[in-house]
Each structure stands twice: as C-alpha cells, then as structure tokens.
Amino acid sequence: MARKLVILLTDMPELPEVETIRRYLQQKIVNKTITKINVLDKSQFHGDQKDVVNNRIVAVERLGKVLAIKLEDKTYLNFHFKLSGQILYSNNAENAIFKNTIPLSSTNRMPGRSTRVIFYFDDGSGLFFNEMRKFGWVKYSPKIEGPKGVDILTSEFTLDYFKKNLQNTRRPVKVVLMDQDRFAGVGNIYANEALFDAKINPEISANNLTIEQLNHLYKSIIKVIKHGIKYHGSSGRDEVYILSDGSKGEYQYHFLVYQQEGKRCQRCGEVIMRIKQGGRSSFYCPECQKMLPKDELLF
C-alpha cells in the first residue's frame, strides 16, 4: 500500500514572501508572451485560457498576499497561494530542473505531483503553479483580486489610518492586525513579530492601546515586514514556501518570538509562551509583553 504524505502546514505566505516572489519574477518574465497554458486541475484556474494566450506580460504586481501578473491588454493573472501554493520559474519549461528538491513534490523536476497550472512563454521558459491542498487559485480578471485593506508598503498605510483601524474595535490587537479588510498582507508570522518588537501583548483589546503603543506598533509593523523582505521571506517549520528558483527564504533564522515557544526570550530571558487565538497560534514573552489590568479584554 502506498504511503500517504502527511505534512502539518503552519502559515501561508504573507506580504514579504509574495513580494520576494514578485521581485524575482519582475526580472524574469516581463516582456515575455504567454504562448500556451496547460491546466492540469481545472478547479485551480478561473477564466478563459484563450483570453490569456498570446498576451504579453508588462508587469508583476502585488496587493497584500495576492500576486498579480499584468498583461498587455490591462488584464491580470491573479495568484493566491493560501497555505501551500508555490510559483516556480524555469528557463526551460519542457525540461525544468531545479537545484533543490521542491517541497511537497519530492523531486527537483517540474511538473511535480502538486503542479496544477503551467504557463509557457515564447522563449521556451515557463511558470509552474503548485498547490498541494488546492485552496490556492489562479484567476484571470480585469483587476487585481486583492483584499479590501490597505497594503502595508503603500503610501496609504499612514499612521492615521493605522490608529483609526485599531481604535474603533475591541477585538484583540493581533486578530485586528491580521484582518485583510484592514491591513492587507499581515499574517500570523509578522503580526507576532511586530507585537513582540512593540512589547504589546497579543490579547490586548485594540482600543485599549495608548497613543505611544500605537505609534510604536505602527513602526514595528513596517520594520518586521521590511526585515522579512530583506531575508527573502520565511520558509518555516513546514518549509513549503520557496522562492521561484526553488531556494528557501531565510527570515525563519531571525524569528524572535514566532515558533519560539519554550525557548528563552532574547531580550529578557523569560520563556516564550504559545497560546491559541482565533484558531491560530500566538507567541509572546510574558515578561516583555505583559497584560496589565487596564489592558483586559472588553467583550
């Protein structure tokens, strides 16, 4: 009997991971024309292939966690990675070989067992969209299919916007930070790291934060997002996230609190704790991120 592959997936690619992929593909696929699409799983591709074929790529953009390839006719190929999505690029789509074994594929050749869609370009190169869990998708659309919230790396993400969206809710601050209708691109990894940097407990009601805490947290969000991009994103415990050349991100080697439960806080020496919040794991230092009486939840 064949052995079943069981992998515990933790968190989906967030803004730094998708931005890393965007920057790589911007250098590789712009000005190439899509000559053919091979849809291996129809549930993963939404749109008419005939509208995409013979279209030239003019830019690679991003909104939150959504990657968007802009085509010459001003339409978009949108990619959402969800938990296990990957986009791999090869100079030779017909004989794609990578230096490293691709996670969830057990091979360094593409297509692999989780490849759902293949895009072929006019110079012989191509893209492979892999999605083991089939939660992710590729969607052809006249617009970027991103979330409603403001992207952290845009000029619209101002301190005033940030304060307004935290001061008007009693939900725990970490839950609010991960709300894609407010802050596009922030997920579990960077919410945990930002709260640790700002010395704020993840369970504090958002509207209980002081002006000083709000100011600090605003800077911390931007800081950890940029730090994540600097190290090409995080290939965490599951190592599912990879760059489009098959290599791994390195931000996981710089985690201060995320997935560090049981280890000593690098700032004070206390043991890092892990709790469940809204179905997700939160990590914090009980000393650096104390919950004071005035910070109690106001449900």
Catalytic positions, please? Answer: 13-14, 65, 280
Report phi then psi at 108, rounded to 5: -105, 10
In terms of phi and psi (left: phi > 0; alpha: psi -120 to 50; beta: otherwise), the region of 259 is left
CB atoms within 10 A of CB 100: 12
Nearest to 244 by CA among 255, 253, 232: 232
40 Cβ contact list (under 8 Å, min separation 6): 111, 115, 116, 117, 118
